[in-house]
Amino acid sequence: MPYSSLTHDLSYQFELAVKKEYTKDENYNDTLKIDGSVGVDFLFFNDINLFAILNGGMGYNTDDNVHLLFNPQFGVMIYEIFNIKSLLYYQPYFVNTEHIYNKYVIEHNIFIHKNYTLYFNLEKIDKDNDFLNYDFGLKYLF
């Protein structure tokens, strides 16, 4: 989460993306979404932060059509040795006013250069049928 002397402990994010999301019908569809977030984190211990983020926005996919999104996050961020950062968080997901699912995430990032990050992510979607997703790769940061 970025830090600004103007906003102090507040963090913010803006996203315009097409990404896979689970729909009300438990399909894994491409969703066009635009959303924004504001969050805050607290130093819990030397390299451990607790955080809360409120995310909201709009999305479109073929199952849910145009819909409002609300998906807050609550979790912990751990800064480890050798430029490693891990996130563990819980995120309930709402479309319009309906609670769609709960998501539990573990993200593990290894910063191998100032512009390159190796990542490993695992997420569990808790719904009528449980889903387990994982991905790994190399990110270029610019």
Confidence of residue 1 (pLDDT cuts 50, 70, 90): very low
Residue 71: domain span:
10-140
pTM (2 d.p.): 0.80
Question: Is residue 97 pLDDT above 90, yes or no?
Answer: no
Q: Is 3 a domain residue? A: no
Question: Is residue 8 pLDDT above 80, yes or no?
Answer: no
What are the backbone dihedrals phi and psi of residue 97, each rounded to the nearest 5 degrees, phi first?
-110, 5
The tokens describing 130, both together, are 């449980």
More confident residue, 20 or 52: 52
Confidence of residue 25 (pLDDT cuts 50, 70, 90): confident
Query: What is the tally of structural domains in the chain?
Result: 1
Q: Is 5 a domain residue? A: no
What single-letter DSSP state applies at residue 8?
B
Q: How confident is the model over 29-39, as pLDDT tens digits? A: 899 999 999 99
The residue among 122, 136, 132, 112 whose CA lies nearest residue 28 is 132
Give the Cβ contact number of residue 125 at 10 Å: 20
